[in-house]
Structure 1
C-alpha cells in the first residue's frame, strides 16, 4: 500500500503534525497499540524513536529488527516495510522528505552523493546526544501555539540536517545485534516504568513482563543506564511529582499518591534525598518563575 507524502498529510490529525510543507512532513507517531502494516512511501523516511522500541521489518531482510531511542532508521522511497510498538507507551517522530527538499538542501550545503550511496536499503544509524536534544525540543512545545509551530519547523529542519550529517559521517549499524537488542529492551523497560509510574513495580514483575530473569534485567538496565531500576523509578516519580507541583494546586499527599507513594512525607523524603528540595520548595520556585 502506498502512503504518499500527500496522503500522510491529508489523513493525519493536526495534533500529530509538527511541521509540513509541499516538500516534507514531520509526524508524531506511537501510542499503546501502534502498528502500521506493510506499506511504502514515495519519499525518504527517517524514524526516530523517543520512548520505547519499534519492531521494524522490511522486504530486504527476513528477520525483524529492534529500533530503540539509541538508533534511527532511514527508509528509502518505494521499499515496503512495517512497524509495530513492542509495548505500550511508545512514541516516535517520523520525518518524510521529498527529492525536491533534498535537492534544495544539496544546493545550500553541498553534494549529498555520499549520503545517497548509503540509502539503497533501510539503514540504521546511532542517534547522537544533540539529536536527542532536538527531538525533545521538537515535541516539548504547545502544538496549538502559532509561535511554537514556527519554532518547531526550524527545529525539525535542524534535526533533519543532523540526521543527514550522521548518515554521511557514521557507519551503518549492523542490525540486529546483541547491543541493539539490549538497548531496545532497556528502552522498553523505561517506557513501561514511565507508563506505570504509580505502580509498585517489583523486579520479579518486570522480569516476567519482559521474559527475562531477574538477574538479567537488573544487570542489563544498570549496564545501559548507570543506575538501578529502583533509582530510575524514583527519578520518574520525582519528575511526575515536580510537574504536578508546578502546574496544579493538588495537596502534596494527593500528588504522592498519584506517583505511587504512601504519603506526602514519603514524597518529601524522596525529593530531599534526590535534589535537596522539599515539595513546598518546588511549588514555590515554580510559582515564582511564572510571575
Structure 2
C-alpha cells in the first residue's frame, strides 16, 4: 500500500483477528462492532473511533447485521502524510497513534463522517477528495490528542461515584464521553485523571469493574454462562471468556469447576 486511503468495511456479523504493519483509524458509521486490543476493549458505533497503531493485534466482532465502518489505512511512507505532519508540526506516531484507544467524535466531526461515508458509498471518492478527508480527520484527531493536558495535581476523581455509575450501567457499553459526563468533567480531563489516579485508561478501568463482578457471580451464583456474560456487558460468550482469561489467567469455566 503506497497511498493512505479511506474505505468502506462492511462487518455485519463477521468476527476475526487482524494485525497490520500500518496504522488505522476505525470510524463507526452504522450498527455496532466490538473491538478488543491486548489491554483495551470497546464498542464502535456511529461517531465512535478506535485508534489502531501499526502492529497492534485486535479482535473484531460485528454485533448487528448493519455494522459497518469507514477505515483510514495509513500508508507508512505516504508523501502526503509526511507533508501533512510537517505542515502541522505534528508527529502522528507520537501523538495520535501512540497506543490503542477509543474516543468519541464531536458533532462537527460526525457531520464530516457522514459526508465521507456518502462519498465512499456513491463511488465519488476521487484522489483529491480522499486527500482532503484524510487531512481533515487526522488534523482533528491530532488536535484532540494535543488538548489532553495534565490536570491540576490536587484534582482527584471521586472513585465511589465513578464505581457506582459503572456498576449501575455495567451491562451496557460505556463510552469515555458518558463516563466523563457522569463525573462532570471534559473527556480529556477525565481521561488524564483516570490514568494518573488509577494507572489505567477509562476503558481498562471499566473492564476491571466488569471482571470483578464476573468473578463474584461465577463464585456465588449458578447463572448460565451466556447470561452472566451479558450481565457484565458482553454480547458474545467468546469475547467474555477472552477478557476474563486476560484478567485472571484462567477461564471462567475453570472458576465454575472449582466452585462446585
TM-score normalised to structure 2 length: 0.51
**Structure 2 CA distance for partners of 1:32 and 1:54, relative to 1, 3 Å:** closer
Structure 2: how far apart are the matches of 1:26 and 1:75?
14
> Displacement, 1:117?
4.7
3-state SS in 2 of match to 1:65: strand
Q: What does residue 33 of structure 1 align with?
A: 13
Aligned partner of residue 140 in structure 1, secondary structure: helix
SS at match of 1:139: helix
Match of 2:82 among 103, 107, 110: 103
Q: Please say which structure displays the higher CA radius of gyration.
A: 1
Residue correspondence of structure 1 range 269-284 to structure 2 within 5 A: none
Q: How does 1:9-88 map to 2 (within 5 A)?
A: 22-35=2-15, 37-61=16-40, 64-88=41-65
Contact 1:131–1:163 at 8 Å: present in 2 too? Answer: no
- Unaligned 5+ runs, structure 2: 150-165, 177-229, 232-260
User: Post-superposition shift, 1:95?
Assistant: 0.5
Change (3 A) 1:106 1:144: closer
Q: Are residues 68 and 183 of structure 1, via their aligned partners in 2, closer, same or farther at CA, if it must alter by over 3 Å?
A: farther
- Asked if the contact 2:104–2:175 (Cα under 8 Å) also holds between the matched residues in 1, the reply is no
CA deviations on 1:239-259 (whole Å, 9 max, x unpaired) are xxxxxxxxxxxxxxxxxxxxx
Distance 2:39 2:134 in 1: 29
Contact 1:70–1:183 under 8 Å retained in 2: no
Q: CA offset at residue 78 of structure 1? A: 0.7
1:33 match: secondary structure: coil
- Partner in structure 2 of residue 196 of structure 1: none
Match of 2:173 in 1: 181
Whole-angstrom CA distance in 1 between matches of 2:17 and 2:101: 17
| Alignment of structure 1 residues 107-186 onto 2, 5 Å | 107-112=86-91, 116-117=94-95, 119-141=97-119, 143-145=122-124, 150-170=128-148, 178=169, 181-182=173-174
Counterpart-to-counterpart distance in 2, 1:136 and 1:70: 9
Structure 1 gap segments, 5+ residues each: 1-5, 7-21, 172-176, 185-210, 213-291
Cα distance change on mapping 1:117 and 1:106 into 2, 3 Å: closer
8 A contact 1:45–1:96 mirrored in 2: yes
Question: Which secondary structure does the structure 1 equivalent of 2:173 belong to?
Answer: helix
| C-alpha distance 125-154 of structure 1, shift in aligned 2 (>3 A) | same
* Cα gap change, 1:60 to 1:145, in 2 (>3 Å): closer
Distance 2:175 2:90 in 1: 33
Provide the alpha-carbon RMSD of the alignment.
Answer: 3.2
Provide the C-alpha distance between the structure 2 equivalents of 1:33 and 1:108, rounded to a whole number of angstroms.
Answer: 40
